[in-house]
Amino acid sequence: MLQIPCPYCGTRDEAEFHFGGEAHITRPGPEVSDEEWSDYLFNRENPKGTHFERWCHNFGCGQWFNVARDTVTHEIDAVYRMGERKPTPENVLTENKRRLA
């Protein structure tokens, strides 16, 4: 069970949240080629490691926010609001990882 720190309500169980897939995908304009449109619609980063993703606190405040989470350990490295800058790899490292590094 993930414990997700909602930036509005505090830490709650995974069951209260809805997963919204990869974050920071920008919709291109209507002039793009089929390849670029298909890349926007379907292709995903899907990394083994830190993944930037959206979550919605469905059974809580109902707000969307961003999470940087490790897809191997499931450790949540950073939580930030919609519209805030994407953290760089250096500042998403959690204490735990810094110790190991």
Q: Site residues (CB under 8 A) for another protein? A: 1-2, 14-15, 18-19, 21, 34-35, 38-39, 41-48, 51, 53, 69, 71-74
Least Å distance, CB 69 to another protein, is 8
Least Å distance, CB 41 to another protein, is 7
Of the two residues 7 and 39, which places its CB atom closer to another protein in the complex?
A: 39
Least Å distance, CB 40 to another protein, is 11
**What size, in residues, is the chain?**
101
